Amino acid sequence: MALIFHERVGLDGRRISPFSWRIRYALAHKELQPTVVPTRFADAARILKLSGQRFVPIIEHNEIVVHDSWAIACYLEDRFPESPTLFGCAIGRGSARMVNAWSDSVLARAMRPLVYADFMRCIDPDDRAYFRSSREAQLGMTLEKYSANPTASLASLFDVCAPLERTLSEQPFVAGSAPAYVDYVVFSVFQWARVGSPHDVLADSTKLPAVQAWRARMVTLYDDLGNRFALYPEEST
């Protein structure tokens, strides 16, 4: 079996993409050990040729090429049914799509202004001009302006995380008693913030204590997977 994982990387091999992080955890969950192809934004031509679009993560499995993290998770689940399950059942998969949509449209949106101003330093120098110009075009403002009010942004993040905090105060993982794909999706956004900014969004222990404890559990899964790669660069980098 040839399984290849094209994974987004940043400065000195840092893992800088929430979408790649959720697939990295999903692969570990399913006990799969792919060949990893580190992929910068600057490698878009290779990715385009491979998949017809510019984004990673991508899974190549024998002759099949799958892009889009949700499609990859479903592919892994369906093609490796003998491995531990990511969704549990059809209802688990359907509901995971809702959690996935919430993570990408609500949680990530709240997280971005807390990370974007710092994020440039954790990505490959060759990618910085592209990252800045593409994101500033989307935002209609500079990254610095977008990130100019961290106090308000943090309050917004706490507000947005209310249902997550409530869930995790009632059970140890989003999926219940053990982690599954819904956990990897939500965690990937927090992990992205750990890598992309020197400021811990969960530093205030009076806010989101259940999320904080869950994040610590998530980091240590699969032999401390959340700490396997360097986090935010030191000042001297």
Site residues (CB under 8 A) for a copy of itself?
A: 85, 87-99, 101-102, 104-106, 162-164, 166-167, 170-171, 173-178, 180, 182
* Minimum CB distance to a copy of itself, residue 91 (Å): 3
Q: How many CB atoms lie within 10 A of CB 129?
A: 12
* Minimum CB distance to a copy of itself, residue 69 (Å): 14
- What is the spatial distance between Cα 84 and Cα 66, in angstroms, rounded to a whole number? 20
Residue 167 or 188: the one with the smaller Cβ distance to a copy of itself is 167
- What is the spatial distance between Cα 233 and Cα 108, in angstroms, rounded to a whole number? 22
Strand order in the sheet with 3-8: 35-39, 3-8, 58-61, 64-67
- What is the spatial distance between Cα 20 and Cα 49, in angstroms, rounded to a whole number? 19
- What is the spatial distance between Cα 224 and Cα 48, in angstroms, rounded to a whole number? 33
* Minimum CB distance to a copy of itself, residue 13 (Å): 32
- What is the spatial distance between Cα 234 and Cα 161, in angstroms, rounded to a whole number? 29
Q: Are 185 and 103 in contact (CB under 8 A)?
A: yes
Residue 177 or 236: the one with the smaller Cβ distance to a copy of itself is 177
* Minimum CB distance to a copy of itself, residue 84 (Å): 11
Residue 100 or 197: the one with the smaller Cβ distance to a copy of itself is 100
Residue 29 or 121: the one with the smaller Cβ distance to a copy of itself is 29
Phi, psi of 200 (to 5 degrees): -80, 115
* Minimum CB distance to a copy of itself, residue 180 (Å): 5
